[in-house]
């Protein structure tokens, strides 16, 4: 067990494992966390699926943990975990997934933004179609903070991810998703501690030919204060997209600029031969060598990826 957490309550290991595990990160959500727990519990109780709801308090500074512990007796399927220091939503989701007893794992948030009453729909798609390994709640609207800046920034990041992944991605970083734990297990170690963990799990599945189904959902205005920082989190999203494609398919990132540099150097070299016969300027040679070096790194990185044996 991680030093970040302490078990607070939950079923014993002798009980029959549930079919679904819902991982609910909670950080300073005291005013609405119980409302969210009630909404999820009501939907799952009506669905007929066996389930557990793992609420992880990420070292909240308000009364979130106290509210959860007080309400726990009312929800027999609720398990509570408490972190001793703030680990980030990615850490919560990683540990929650590693500890999940269910075959299907659901990620969502406790801020009332996602239609958590529709969680059974996501699970049902996975249950009925064995070719689908992940179902993502694709948001049809943007209601987050910094909306004017977030919409174009997220569009650019999503288009970069689509180009590198070679697939259309309606929603790259939705926090509502369900997936098969057996498929996700090898990729859990890649999850960063912050918000970009959802981007990571999406690209991990797509890069390894695991089918992802996108279910259109509404997205409500957040309850409480957002933890999203536009500048730092947008930078992390872009970096994580490039990192994940480099991890699974480095040729897509490195080979295009390498070929462009070589092509530019050759064209410039032909031009230089006409202007200055038998003389190649230093910048032409540098452009050509840069292309060769980047291309060599691309091939070496691809060799390393293919030799990992994952």
Q: Report helix, strand or coil for 229.
A: coil
Report the pLDDT value the prediction gives residue 144, as an integer from 0 to 100.
Answer: 55
DSSP letters spanning 73-115: GG-TTEEEEEESS---HHHHHHHHHHH--SSEEEE--SSS-S-
What is the separation of C-alpha 206 from the centre of its chain, rounded to a whole number of angstroms?
A: 12
Report the pLDDT value the prediction gives residue 229, as an integer from 0 to 100.
Answer: 59
Contact present, 276 and 269 (Cβ < 8 Å):
no
Inter-CA distances, 95 with 60, 82, 118, 245, Å? 17, 12, 24, 24
Burial code (b: 16+ CB inside 10 Å, e: under 16) for 170-200 equals ebbbbbbbbbbbebbeebbebbbbbbbbbbb
How many CB atoms are located within 10 Å of the residue 97 CB?
24
Phi and psi angles of residue 164, each rounded to the nearest 5 degrees, phi first: -75, -35
Closest CA to 239 of 205, 290, 195: 195
Tokens 């959802």 sit on residue: 198
Which contiguous run of DSSP H or E holds residue 58? none
Report the pLDDT value the prediction gives residue 255, as an integer from 0 to 100.
Answer: 92
Residue 175 to residue 198: CA distance in whole angstroms:
6
Contact present, 99 and 22 (Cβ < 8 Å):
no
Each residue's pLDDT, cut to its tens digit, for the chain (310 residues) gives 444 555 555 544 446 899 999 999 999 999 999 999 999 999 999 999 999 999 999 999 999 999 999 999 999 999 999 999 999 989 999 999 999 999 999 999 999 999 999 999 999 999 999 999 999 999 987 665 555 656 676 777 788 788 777 889 999 889 999 999 999 999 999 888 876 889 889 989 998 889 999 999 998 887 756 555 556 666 776 777 777 778 888 888 899 999 999 999 999 999 888 888 878 789 999 999 999 999 999 999 888 877 865 5
Q: Determine the CATH number of domain 5-248.
A: 3.90.550.10
Residue 158 to residue 171: CA distance in whole angstroms:
8
Report the pLDDT value the prediction gives residue 14, as an integer from 0 to 100.
Answer: 44
Q: Report helix, strand or coil for 136.
A: strand
Handedness of CA 128, 10, 182, 107 (dihedral sign): positive
Q: Report helix, strand or coil for 21.
A: strand
């Amino acid at each position: 067990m991680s030093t970040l957490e302490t078990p607070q309550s939950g079923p014993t290991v002798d009980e029959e494992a549930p079919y679904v595990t819902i991982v609910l990160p909670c950080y300073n959500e005291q005013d609405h966390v119980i409302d969210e727990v009630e909404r999820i519990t009501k939907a799952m109780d009506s669905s007929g699926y066996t389930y557990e709801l793992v609420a992880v308090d990420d070292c909240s500074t308000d009364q979130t943990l106290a509210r959860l512990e007080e309400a726990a007796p009312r929800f027999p399927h609720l398990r509570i975990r408490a972190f001793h220091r703030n680990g980030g939503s990615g850490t919560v989701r990683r540990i929650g997934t590693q500890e999940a007893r269910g075959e299907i794992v659901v990620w969502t948030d406790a801020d009332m933004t996602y239609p958590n009453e529709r969680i059974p729909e996501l699970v049902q798609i996975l249950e009925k179609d064995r070719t689908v390994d992940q179902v993502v709640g694709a948001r049809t609207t943007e209601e987050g903070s910094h909306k004017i800046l977030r919409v174009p920034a997220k569009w650019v990041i999503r288009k970069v991810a689509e180009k590198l992944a070679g697939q259309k991605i309606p929603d790259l970083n939705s926090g509502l998703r369900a997936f098969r734990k057996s498929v996700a297990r090898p990729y859990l170690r890649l999850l960063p501690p912050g918000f970009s963990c959802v981007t990571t799990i999406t690209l991990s599945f797509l890069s390894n030919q695991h089918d992802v189904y996108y279910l259109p959902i509404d997205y409500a205005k957040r309850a409480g204060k957002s933890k999203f920082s536009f500048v730092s989190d947008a930078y992390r999203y872009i970096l994580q997209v490039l990192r994940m494609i480099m991890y699974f398919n480095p040729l897509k990132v490195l080979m295009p600029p390498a070929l462009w540099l070589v092509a530019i150097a050759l064209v410039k070299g032909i031009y230089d031969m006409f202007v200055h016969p038998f003389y190649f300027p230093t910048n032409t040679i540098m452009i050509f060598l840069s292309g060769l070096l980047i291309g060599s790194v691309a091939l070496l990185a691809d060799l390393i990826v293919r030799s990992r044996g994952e």
